[in-house]
Amino acid sequence: MSKEKIILGIDPGTTIMGFGLIKVVGKNMEFMQLNELDLKKYSDHYLKLKLIFERTIELIDTHNPDEIAIEAPFYGKNVQSMLKLGRAQGVAMAAGLSREIPITEYLPKKIKMAITGNGNASKEQVAKMLQSLLGLKTLPKNLDATDGLAAAVCHFYNSGTITVGKSYSGWSAFVKQNESRVKK
């Protein structure tokens, strides 16, 4: 009997938080859900963070994911935007950690590369590839939801490998990933 695993992917944001869920059965993935948390109507940044935390907890309690994949913030020129995005990511991570769910971060380029083979792919290209891979009938109006789903699919493709240097299964995994730096 194949072990089932559920992966929650999150694209954090203070305007829209996208998320998607896939179920892994054996070596196959199945689409479960994608959606978004629309925060545009709220002006209070702290209220937005609270809502991100609560929605993430709700997703965890409803779907019981085994793992969470989250898009790491990209480094932009606007420090305030970067700080807000980092906070959104942090509260989503805190929600997962509060339920003791392993979390792996992926750089946006790594997610795009895993889905399309091109680290510079557009949101539309990522969405179309996910539609093809998972047999999605329609795509959402905002592509933040497909970005969240893309994080989950990227994590599925990277299962059993070390990614971004943020997730290790132990000391031997760290040494193996960094063999080129270890003197022999």
Of these residues, 67, 71, 105, 147, which one is catalytic? 71
Query: Of residues 36, 67, 105, 144, which has the active-site annotation?
Result: 144
* Residue 30, annotated as binding a ligand: no
Other residues' Cβ atoms within 10 Å of the Cβ of residue 12: 29
The token pair at 40 is: 């545009």
Question: Annotation-wise, does 44 bind a ligand?
Answer: no
Q: Is there a catalytic annotation at residue 38?
A: no
Is 11 marked active-site?
yes
Q: Residue 175: left if φ>0, alpha if ψ -120 to 50, beta else—which one?
A: alpha
For the chain, the residue count is 184
CA 46 to CA 141: how far, in whole Å?
A: 26
Alpha-carbon dihedral sign for residues 57, 55, 136, 146: negative
Catalytic residue among 11, 36, 67, 105: 11
Per 3-state DSSP, what percentage of the chain is helix, strand, and coil (rounded to 5)?
45, 20, 35
Tell me if residue 144 is catalytic. yes
Is position 144 annotated in a ligand binding site? yes
Binding residues for Mg(2+) are 11, 71, 144
Binding residues are 11, 71, 144
The residues assigned a catalytic role are 11, 71, 144
